[in-house]
A and B are shown apart, each in its own frame.
Chain A
Amino acid sequence: MIRDFFRVMVVDLTTGKTRLKEIPGRAEYLGGSGLAAHLFREFGHIDRDWDDPEQPLIFAIGPLTGYFPLMSKTCCAFRSPYHNQYTESYAGGKSALSLRFADLDALVVTGKAKRLTAVCVGSRLVDVRDVEYMRGFDAIQTGRVLRKIFPGSGRRSIMRIGPAGENLSAYACINVDTFRHFGRMGGGAVMGAKNLKAICVLGDRGFDLPEGKAYPKLYKHIFEQLTTTEMMAKYHGLGTAVNINPLNALKSLPWKNLQQTSSPEAEKISGETFADDTLLRNAACAGCPVGCIHVGFVREQFQTNNQYLYRQVGYDYEPIFSCGGMLEVTEAPEVLRILDVIEKEGLDCMSAGVALAWATEALEKGAISENETLEPLKWGDSETYMRAVEHLGRQDNDFYRLLAQGTMKCAKRYGGEDYACVLGQEMAGYATGEVFFVAEGLGFRHSHLDSGGYAYDQKHDEKDVDKALNFLLQDGRERIVLNCMVGCLFSRGVYKDDLLAEALESVGYGELNGSMEDIGRRVQRMRWRLRLEMGYRPDEVVIPKRYTEITTWKGPVDVDYMDALRRAYAAKIMEMGAPPEDEGTQAPLSTAKKTPS
């Protein structure tokens, strides 16, 4: 192991000063999700809003980051502008390995700079720079300039925001290394509120490896599993976009703001179509040989006489669902063109697509007019949607200002709550049924990856609340362990408990082996406690009417079953997030030995 405690860099933008802290707790929090929550306890404020300058923005990696393939993600934690509660988002790119090789288990940014600022940190470098001249720069242009002003090509990660983050959109993302994002829950706005345009992490150190042959042998075994078996074929082949056709066949593909759950047109934006017609190449996160990043291209004629330009745009299942199917845009290159604008504005593509789908239906139904939308939003009209994305990123009028705070907030003002596809935040692309709707609606970070509710729906048509609830809790906990590692969730079929134990053992963390389940349980409780302390009321969560109106392969949604599961899950969350009996609510978590199970 590199160390058995956490080495954390804290950058205070108010003072411009940086300090390093050594924090114990590896055996209790592991890293990633657990470390981030632990750090929020230390640096965060329950009694202050998300945009208070003193609220921290936290990036944390895990004990195996860099040591093994696919241990290549970073957990970003913050108090969300979306609901003013604690949340997390995950991204890869080069962020995780850059932090590892910068010799940091976590980076915490507090305070607020006077002017727009960029920060570069490395193992032997801290550089805080005024970049006021970048105000309004889009995310791609920002990356281009940063590559010139900071060192370390090939061994650094550049995380930055676009106009949406500067304008404090509640779903502004943090763009990471061009094709990856801390997408959900508004991390970009947290950076914007701090006047922080970008963070560059320079990974310029190396570490001794454990003695003996166990580690290189295990590495080779895992690498072969990932690259020579069929286990990861889905991810590097068509990518997650492969899901379009099967979900369409299962009547589980959200379409036209979820007015439909399938369409004969879906084939035109399927993973197969994207691969055949637009796929330019694959790319990978550093430390992952799978290469799940699919980069498509768009060729545009900008003048007569054969004057063309081309753009490279990353795509995946979720972006295609949100900016394709939900908007009924059924030409693959047109989907990519919308995504390209979203990328530049620095918005979460899922929230942006779903928000515009709601706006289109609201316009159609007369809840709003073109005075609000500024554009004649129309299903399938990509040119109009591209302009609307810019209005959204730049918040060009009151309507877009409110829509940028969340679709439901906008719907509450203008009407149309029934058909706002919001499950905590704008939905992910799985109209699979009751379990998923509850799972995302009440999930910790309102992500489809909190638990595999979408997969459960696709395999189970029985309506057993206890069974579904147990699945959500158990699967959620297992994913939390991987999120503490911070491994890519695509690797969850490879990194089973035994293999994780062996991997930890091989690099000197053997003593953690027996406590993984305890850690998962502890972090699960700790995260819910933070949410509840910040005002989360799972028992008051409403699943919008639109979700009761759809039909999946299992038939019409069973409202009673969904409601029973919702109530049961909410009760469990309240129970998990209750203060443990042996602690006061204010007791620092660092003193917690074991939470009762």
Chain B
Amino acid sequence: MKALRAARMERCIGCHSCSLACARQVHKVLSWNKAGIRISSSGGLSTGFEARVCLACHPAPCAQACPTGSLAQRRDGGVIQKRNLCIRCGKCAEACPVDAIFLDHLVNPYVCIHCGQCVPYCPHDCLELVDLPSREEEEGSDD
């Protein structure tokens, strides 16, 4: 199972092409917020850039907080999103420890689904899809 990693953010130039690509291709909107990855400076442009992106937690606090199953745990980490089940309570964003879930003004959550569609749009190769270690062994263990 793959996960998106913002592995080389020190190369980031702040073009927002990743967010725009996610919004355009995954969510079919023109936006730099309504996206699973958002870019911000760490306090002004002279400080470099940070990516707000899902870290593929397991267990995922957002999925645990979701009362309707709209966000469900992915096998090896991160979440699967079913938009039609969302009641827009905003609990997921509250639960995320790294502010990786964006809520728009209608409380629609936007979270990375680790599809990797943003990766080819990063001109400096800051992003990559990596294999998550399989969790089967741990889950199967009785220890």
The answer on A and B forming one complex is: yes
A contact residues vs B (CB 8 Å cutoff): 2, 66-67, 69, 97, 100-101, 124, 143-144, 147, 153-155, 177-179, 203-209, 216, 219, 223, 227, 281-291, 293, 295, 312
Residues from chain B with a CB closer than 8 A to the CB of A2 are 30
Q: What are 30 A-B pairs with beta-carbon distances under 8 A?
A: A2-B30, A69-B17, A101-B31, A153-B41, A154-B32, A154-B39, A154-B40, A154-B52, A155-B38, A178-B44, A178-B46, A206-B23, A208-B28, A208-B30, A209-B28, A216-B25, A223-B121, A227-B123, A281-B13, A283-B13, A283-B45, A284-B13, A284-B14, A287-B15, A287-B20, A289-B13, A290-B123, A291-B123, A291-B124, A312-B46
Among A155, A223, A281, A288, the residue within 8 A (CB) of B32 is: A155
The interface centre, meaning the residue of B15, B43, B52 with most chain A CB atoms within 10 A of its CB, is B15
Q: In the complex, what's the smallest C-beta–C-beta distance from B114 to chain A, in angstroms?
A: 20
Interface contact B105-A124, CB-CB below 8 Å: yes
CB of B9 to closest CB in A, whole Å: 12
Q: A-B contact count, CB below 8 Å?
A: 96
Chain A residues with CB under 8 A of B94: none
B33 at the interface (CB under 8 A from A): yes
Rounded to whole angstroms, the CA-CA distance of A515 and B94 in the bound complex is: 50
* A219 (CB) vs chain B CBs: closest residue: B24
Q: Which residue of B lies closest to A282 (CB)?
A: B13
List the B residue with the shortest CB-CB distance to A311.
B46
User: What is the bound-complex CA distance between A179 and B45, given in angstroms?
Assistant: 8
- List 5 other contacts, CB 8 Å, given A147-B44, A153-B41, A205-B31: A101-B31, A153-B40, A154-B40, A178-B46, A289-B123
CB contact under 8 A between A147 and B43, given known A155-B38, A209-B28, A286-B32 = yes
Q: Which of B25, B34, B45 contacts A206 (CB 8 A)?
A: B34
Query: Which residues of chain A come closer than 8 Å to B16, judged between CB atoms?
Result: 97, 286-287
| Closest chain B residue to A154, Cβ basis | B40
**Contact A204:B105 (CB < 8 A) given known A97-B32, A291-B123:** yes
Q: Are A209 and B29 in contact (CB under 8 A)?
A: yes
> Is A207's CB under 8 angstroms from B31's CB?
yes
Supposing A147-B43, A287-B20 touch, asked if A206 and B33 sit within 8 A by C-beta, the answer is yes
Q: How far is the CA of A289 from the CA of B20 in the complex (A)?
A: 11
B52: chain A residues at CB < 8 Å are 154
- 10 cross-chain pairs, A with B, having the tightest CB-CB distances, nearest first: A154-B40, A206-B31, A284-B15, A291-B13, A289-B123, A284-B13, A178-B45, A206-B34, A206-B29, A207-B30
In the bound complex, what is the Cα–Cα distance between A101 and B121 (angstroms)?
A: 20
* Shortest Cβ distance from residue A512 to the other chain B in the assembled complex, whole angstroms: 18
Q: Are A204 and B33 within 8 A (Cβ)? A: yes
Contact A223 B17 (CB under 8 A): yes
Q: How far is the CA of A330 from the CA of B41 in the complex (A)?
A: 33
B112 smallest CB distance to A (angstroms): 15
In the assembled complex, which residues on chain B have CB atoms less than 8 Å from the CB atom of A216? 24-25
In the complex, A281→B48 CA distance in Å?
10
